[in-house]
Amino acid sequence: MTRYAAPLADMRFVLFDLLDVEKQYARLPGGEAATRDTLDAIFDEAAKFSEQVLAPLNASGDEEGCTLDKATGNVTTPKGFKEAYKQYVDGGWSSLNAPEAYGGQHLPESIGAPIKEMLDSANLSWGNFPLLSHGASEALRLHGEEWQRVAFLKPIVEGRWTGTMCLTEPHCGSDLGLLRTRAEPNPDGTYRISGTKIFITAGEHDLTENIVHLVLARLPDAPAGVKGISLFIVPKFKVDRDGRMGARNAVACGAIEHKMGIKASVTCVMNFDAAEGYLIGAPNKGLNAMFTMMNTARLAVGIQGLGLIERAYQISLAYARERLQGRSLSGPKFPDKPADPLVVHADIRRMLLTQKAFAEGTRALSYYAASLVDLVERSPDEAERKRADELLSFLIPIVKALLTEAANECAYHAVQIHGGHGYIRETGIEQFARDARITTIYEGTTGIQALDLLGRKILATQGVGLRHFLEEIGAFCKAQAGNAALAEFIGPLAKAAQEWGDLTLALGKRAMANADEVGAAAVDYLFYSGYVALAYFWTRSVAAAEASKQSADFKAAKRHTARFYFARILPRTLTHKAAVEAGSDSLLAMPDALFG
């Protein structure tokens, strides 16, 4: 079993020194309760829960998995998961960010980001069970009727129930315009939901007394395509308008998907057989509510990636320091030992620094995105809310795709650093590689995130979110222009930001003439964007560290890692830029028949 230690020092640095969330909280409704003492206590307790309760269950949960009783349709989670969930609820974690009116503590959303990172680092599979409750809560809060919020949202906030998103079907995957699940109206205002959904995270389990499924379906008179999709609340046990739970509903788990990783998180085939449900939101407007859930889930999955990056780094660093293997090429560094530890070797350091640069850089990016959620939901200034929403919408596909792809890369490095010990089950390293690979797929593949970024968030909006972000980078570079301590970073960052804008403008012009340019460039454009964004946060990190009361070693580590990032990772943008500028011909010119 590998050990996990929550990186509280860096988490606090990002929140309090880099992002200065205390100042933001002080002016937002509900933020006044988020004092530094309160937050420190919350993070300490979350660290204990993650390290002492969840982390020890990670390997055993992966080994045991979830089991389905086909006769009853009931799913049993691995040993210890149910008890851990009870501790989670008793600790008040399920209600942290929810509105007080529905039983929540109404603390800012960005407080939840480090807590979620800790849960996911410790035990990603377990973290998936409460994951989608947040998205379901947001959909109910923003799109539901008041009686629905009281009947369904309150028990979710209390942790007595969990929520799911039931979108995908066997024949349509991510193309929701093809979905076939039907919703027939009843005289009493309820609906009969019939159809099959697949890949439903936590669709059935034994942790709570009820499960609230939010299901996309079509009404009888619905228009074709995505314009004819509605969203319905379909509980495992029927719930009346007064919130009373009744008989078992006609919804059941038909099978558990046999995944390559995240094995202790149940992923279900869900069958709805005229199950009783309620319409949420307006008819044929289900996508509006779905994107509320989807954006919340995509940010959350990005933080899952961060959790795995951190875990891969911790495992790798511990092993590299203790494993004796060969001698340094420039001469023994530990002559009193039979061999030098792995950490002295340049290639091992390349992998370790890649992990460290991604862990700390993406932590800043994702916590920043979470702080924008606070502004969108709580700022009394309409203009500030609008800008934050546009900026957040732009960043979400970058956070989801970049952080999960970086998790995949960092888990790969962890296996490489461990050599032969990396791919055998006994050491536990290969579990993280399997888990990380899946995060790049669910809640939208990297390709889907890239199309969302370039097609919806850049071209469809004339790049409003990107403009906000580039303006922020430009203002930062201007403000720090005379700061000698940042001179080595400011010039390259300003150049990269200018190039980002120019590349986007040129790509937009090509896309107007040929729509295939969007699909051909999207993934490379996303990675390019992500690497420049991380360069900004690494420069800000050095600036914040220098201005802080952090130790000299902490400041030195930030600077060394930033130098590595600018020297070794930021140059990846050159390849992605060249690929974007290469156009679509090399991808699309070859006839299908020539693929063989």
pLDDT of residue 1: 63
CB atoms within 10 A of CB 382: 8
| 347 within some domain | no
Tell me the C-alpha distance between 392 and 365, whole Å: 11
84-102 pLDDT, tens digit per residue, is 999 999 999 999 988 899 9
CA 149-150-155 angle, 5° bins: 95
- Catalytic residue, chosen from 204, 430, 443, 517, is 443
Question: Element (H or E) spanning 109, and its range?
Answer: helix 109-122
Dihedral pair phi/psi, residue 275, rounded to 5°: -70, 145
Question: If pLDDT is split at 50, 70 and 90, which confidence band does 293 have?
Answer: confident
Q: Do the strands 74-76 and 210-217 form a parallel or antiparallel pair, or are they unpaired?
A: unpaired
pLDDT of residue 260: 95
| 480 within some domain | yes
Contacts (Cβ under 8 Å, ≥6 apart) of 45: 91
| 576 within some domain | yes
| Residues 269 and 181 sit within 8 Å (Cβ to Cβ) | no
| 248 within some domain | no
Say which DSSP state 169 is in. Answer: -
Examine the pLDDT at 428 and tell me if it is beyond 90. Answer: no
Question: If pLDDT is split at 50, 70 and 90, which confidence band does 228 have?
Answer: very high
Helix (H, G, I), strand (E, B) or coil at 86: helix
Long-range pairs for 544-548: beta carbons < 8 A, 24 or more residues apart: 544/13, 544/17, 544/18, 545/13, 545/17, 546/485, 546/486, 547/17, 548/13, 548/17
Is 430 noted as a catalytic residue in this protein?
no
CA 360-365-368 angle, 5° bins: 120
CA 334-340-345 angle, 5° bins: 120
User: How is residue 200 written in tokens?
Assistant: 């439903």
Question: If pLDDT is split at 50, 70 and 90, which confidence band does 173 have?
Answer: confident
User: How is residue 270 written in tokens?
Assistant: 């869900």
Tell me the C-alpha distance between 120 and 266, whole Å: 15
Q: Which residue, 289, 317, 162, is CA-closest to 226?
A: 289
* One-letter amino acid for residue 461 of the chain: T
Contacts (Cβ under 8 Å, ≥6 apart) of 542: 485, 486, 489, 558, 559, 562
237-279 pLDDT, tens digit per residue, is 999 999 999 999 999 999 999 999 999 999 999 999 999 999 9
Dihedral pair phi/psi, residue 386, rounded to 5°: -65, -45
Tell me the C-alpha distance between 312 and 413, whole Å: 8
Q: In whole numbers, what is the pLDDT of the chain averaged over residues?
A: 95
| Residues 181 and 216 sit within 8 Å (Cβ to Cβ) | yes
DSSP of 328-395: -TTS-S-TTSSS-BGGGSHHHHHHHHHHHHHHHHHHHHHHHHHHHHHHHHH-S-HHHHHHHHHHHHHH
Q: Do the strands 251-256 and 267-280 form a parallel or antiparallel pair, or are they unpaired?
A: antiparallel
Examine the pLDDT at 6 and tell me if it is beyond 90. Answer: yes
| 470 within some domain | yes
Mean pLDDT within 480-494:
96
How many distinct structural domains can be found in the chain?
1
Contacts (Cβ under 8 Å, ≥6 apart) of 117: 11, 303, 306, 307, 310, 363, 366
Total count of residues recorded for the chain: 596
User: How is residue 89 written in tokens?
Assistant: 């609820």
Say which DSSP state 77 is in. Answer: P
| 102 within some domain | no
Question: Element (H or E) spanning 450, and its range?
Answer: helix 446-451
pLDDT of residue 323: 94
| 557 within some domain | yes
Question: Element (H or E) spanning 586, and its range?
Answer: helix 585-588
Q: Cα–Cα distances in Å, from 350 out to 163, 177, 211, 405, 489?
A: 41, 45, 45, 18, 20
Dihedral pair phi/psi, residue 563, rounded to 5°: -60, -45
pLDDT of residue 405: 98
| Residues 164 and 200 sit within 8 Å (Cβ to Cβ) | yes
Domain that holds residue 547: 464-586
Question: If pLDDT is split at 50, 70 and 90, which confidence band does 178 have?
Answer: confident
Mean pLDDT within 41-58:
98
Examine the pLDDT at 377 and tell me if it is beyond 80. Answer: yes
pLDDT of residue 135: 84
Q: Cα–Cα distances in Å, from 184 out to 157, 191, 222, 236, 277?
A: 30, 5, 11, 18, 10
192-201 pLDDT, tens digit per residue, is 999 999 999 9
Tell me the C-alpha distance between 143 and 386, whole Å: 19
Contacts (Cβ under 8 Å, ≥6 apart) of 359: 7, 10, 306, 309, 310, 313, 410
Percent of the chain predicted with pLDDT > 90: 89
499-547 pLDDT, tens digit per residue, is 999 999 999 999 999 999 999 999 999 999 999 999 999 999 999 999 9
Tell me the C-alpha distance between 277 and 289, whole Å: 16
Q: Which residue, 163, 200, 162, is CA-closest to 181?
A: 200
Contacts (Cβ under 8 Å, ≥6 apart) of 371: 19, 21, 24, 108, 109, 110
Q: Do the strands 230-235 and 182-185 form a parallel or antiparallel pair, or are they unpaired?
A: unpaired
Mark out the alpha helices in 144-197 (DSSP H runs). Answer: 146-148, 154-158
* One-letter amino acid for residue 205 of the chain: H
Mean pLDDT within 194-215:
97
Question: If pLDDT is split at 50, 70 and 90, which confidence band does 296 have?
Answer: confident
Dihedral pair phi/psi, residue 199, rounded to 5°: 60, 40
pLDDT of residue 430: 95
Examine the pLDDT at 134 and tell me if it is beyond 90. Answer: no
* One-letter amino acid for residue 588 of the chain: L
Tell me the C-alpha distance between 328 and 442, whole Å: 42
Q: Do the strands 191-201 and 182-185 form a parallel or antiparallel pair, or are they unpaired?
A: antiparallel
Mean pLDDT within 285-305:
88
| 18 within some domain | no
